[in-house]
Amino acid sequence: MTLGIMKTIMTSDWKRPGRKILLASQSPRRREIMGQMGFAFEPVVPNVPDEDSFLDANDIEPSIRRLAFAKAESVAKGNPGALVLGADTIVRCGTAVLGKPRDAVHARGMLDLLKGRPHMVYSGIALVCVDARFSESAVEKTTVFVRDIDDHEMTEYIDSTDYRDKAGAYAIQGRAMVFISRIEGCFYNVVGLPIEKTISLFKAYLSRKDSADV
């Protein structure tokens, strides 16, 4: 390992990779996390039709990785000089894969499935730069335990509409926090962007860049 690579890994240079950073996501939660991590970035809406077609309950980690790549690549094609971060988060409970609910009835069905039992939250992330011929990805998994939720609590929550645009019909940092008894793994993964894995992708880019410069 060269001195240049050692310096990159042992400092916070991953925040300043020397290229424009684009976040291929519509999620305000991911934008907030990226800002809190210290990145200067621009959000861009990815163009990936029929996202559900990527997901396979029997092959969940590769499929969420492919979806994250598809989102990153859809933005990277028109921005070849930028580093583009794509991400997606899903919930798996048993053999059921839960995305975002269509409406209140769909949301209630999701929460009825989740209550009183553990489920898994998966986030796939991918970092792509066309000009640098760089593409790396990662998957984070967190186990979330939801307590039993009575009908009154459920109705009150659904009426708040806080379930909208949330994988599994809840946000751990929102009103649904009172339903969570504990988690095992990365909290920010459940919010929508695993911090350690995100840093690792930017470090991988910088390490390869430094190797090429030697």
Q: Is residue 52 part of a domain?
A: yes
DSSP assignment of 120-136 equals EEEEEEEEEETTTTEEE
First CA to last CA distance, the chain: 11
Domain membership of residue 105 as a residue range: 3-209
Residue 1 has pLDDT above 50, yes or no: no
How far is residue 64's CA from residue 78's CA, in Å, rounded to a whole number? 23
pTM score above 0.85: yes
pLDDT over 90, % of the chain = 77
Report pLDDT for 214. Answer: 42
Mean pLDDT for all residues in the chain = 90
Residue 191 has pLDDT above 60, yes or no: yes
Report pLDDT for 138. Answer: 97
Report pLDDT for 211. Answer: 57
Report pLDDT for 11. Answer: 57
Q: Which of 52, 59, 88, 148 is catalytic?
A: 88
Q: Is residue 174 part of a domain?
A: yes
Instruction: Yes or no: say if 57 and 97 are a contact pair by the CB < 8 Å rule.
Output: yes
Q: What is the CA radius of gyration of the chain?
A: 18
Q: Please give the average per-residue pLDDT across 48-76, as a whole number.
A: 89
Report pLDDT for 210. Answer: 64
120-176 per-position pLDDT tens digit: 999 999 999 999 999 999 999 999 999 999 999 999 999 999 999 898 999 999 999
The answer to whether residue 13 is catalytic is no
Q: What CATH number is attached to the domain comprising 55?
A: 3.90.950.10
66-90 per-position pLDDT tens digit: 999 999 999 999 999 999 999 999 9
Name the residue among 120, 116, 131, 124 with its Cα closest to residue 168: 120
Tell how strand 83-93 and strand 42-44 pair up. Answer: unpaired
Question: Does residue 118 sit in helix, strand or coil?
Answer: strand
Residue 60 has pLDDT above 80, yes or no: yes
Report residue 24 as tokens.
Answer: 């291929």
Instruction: Yes or no: say if 26 and 45 are a contact pair by the CB < 8 Å rule.
Output: yes
Domain count, the chain: 1
Q: Is residue 214 part of a domain?
A: no
Res. 5 pLDDT band, cuts 50 70 90: very low
Report pLDDT for 7. Answer: 44
Report pLDDT for 25. Answer: 93
Q: Is residue 141 part of a domain?
A: yes
